[in-house]
Amino acid sequence: MTRTRPFGITLLALVQIISGLQFWLLAIASRADTTELQDALGENAWIAENVDGVLFWSRIIYVVLGLLAFALAYGYMNGSEWAGRRGTSVATFAIVVAFLTMMLVAIPANLGSPMWLFTVWTLVAVCTIIFNIAVIIFLGRPTVKAYFKGGR
């Protein structure tokens, strides 16, 4: 008896491959020494003082997240049981990182003005949170869990 892969799993695998490539591109882009990046990071006093360390650790995190994304894509396509569990863990981690991004980048803006809610960083973080909540809900569906239980 062959088991069929839910279409959503194929989409998740594709999203993970794209995410992995994006993370690696972010790691490469964070190596660029631009004044715009320095100015953007300078909005937060703590980050401005520790910019070299922040960029170094962000590169490390981006490379690791890229590797995790590729591993998850492989596990999703094969129906590996570990991929279902790790997919939920990675989505939870992404939500935490997005929340921290909002705290570190958006909050130092003028809180008296409602415009800080509409910064690009905040918008990306909110989209990340919403998407990963949907991933957690999708991976918790009974048919999806059954697909992973029959895997390797």
Q: Are 76 and 9 in contact (CB under 8 A)?
A: yes
34 located within any domain: yes
Q: What is the pLDDT of residues 9-56, one digit of tens each?
A: 999 999 999 988 988 887 787 666 556 656 666 666 766 677 677 778
Which H/E stretch holds residue 47? helix 45-49
Q: What is the pLDDT of residues 50-91, one digit of tens each?
A: 767 777 887 888 888 889 889 999 999 999 999 999 999 989
2 located within any domain: no
142 located within any domain: yes
1 located within any domain: no
Q: How many domains does the chain have?
A: 1
Domain that holds residue 90: 7-149
Q: Can you give the length of the chain in residues?
A: 152
Residue spans of beta strands (DSSP E) within the chain = none
57 located within any domain: yes
For the whole prediction, is pTM greater than 0.85?
A: no
Beta carbons within 8 Å of 79's beta carbon, 6+ residues apart: 3, 5, 9, 147, 148, 150, 151, 152
